[in-house]
Structure formats: C-alpha cells, structure tokens
Amino acid sequence: MPKLIDLTGRQFEYLSVIGRSKDKGNGRKPVTKWDCLCRCGKIITVKSDSLLSGHTVSCGCRKIKHGYANKERLYQTWKKHEAALHESE
Ligand SMILES: [Zn+2]
C-alpha cells in the first residue's frame, strides 16, 4: 500500500487542490483522487499520479503536451530556433 501524500492546499499550475475526493475510480485497485479548483473556476477530480507527474495542470482549459513539463525551456529553444532561421535568411 503506497503512502498517501496529502496534496490538500498544493498548487499545480492552474489547479489548487481543495481536498481528497471520494471518487476512488472504477478499477479494482482504488486510486487516490483529489478535488481541484482550476484557475478558470471549474472543479475537477484528478488522480494523484496525474498531479504529481505534471500531466494534469488544468481542467483542460490549458493544454500541455505529455512529457513537456519544462515549457519555459521549450519556449527558449523555440526562440533560438526562430532567431537562427532569420539569421540564415
Ligand atoms: Zn480550467
């Protein structure tokens, strides 16, 4: 049994964790879910894993590609790429 990490009050980008959800999923293995308030005002239920891995950072109003946790660096890379393109023109 994995130790329960209390995420209440934690902030994950757009989501603030309000508290533990009663929803334990439909599978045989119960999952820990959390009620989260999105910045846009919507309340959604998110699994611990999704929050901690950075997979879910909003109710869906802010899209994030799976695996791209460091958006700022990605943006910098893109900017450098853009600059390089212009230089070679
Ligand atoms: Zn939202």
Q: Is residue 6 part of a domain?
A: no
Q: Is residue 17 part of a domain?
A: yes
84 C-beta neighbours (distance < 10 Å), count: 9
Q: What is the pLDDT of residues 21-56, one digit of tens each?
A: 998 888 888 899 999 999 999 999 999 999 999 999
Torsion angle defined by CA atoms of residues 64, 67, 73 and 78, in that order, rounded to the nearest 10 degrees:
-70
Q: Is residue 2 part of a domain?
A: no
* Domain total in the chain: 1
Ligand 1 (ion): which residues have CB within 5 A?
A: 38, 40, 42, 58-59, 61
Q: Is residue 34 part of a domain?
A: yes
Least confident of 45-49, 55-59, 63-67: 63-67
Burial 43-74 (b: 16+ CB within 10 A, else e): ebebbbebbeeeebbbbeeeeeeeeeeeeeee
| 83: containing domain | 11-87
Q: Is residue 41 part of a domain?
A: yes
**C-alpha of residue 38 to centroid of ligand 1, in Å:** 5
Q: Is residue 3 part of a domain?
A: no
**C-alpha of residue 73 to centroid of ligand 1, in Å:** 23
**C-alpha of residue 28 to centroid of ligand 1, in Å:** 29
**C-alpha of residue 80 to centroid of ligand 1, in Å:** 30
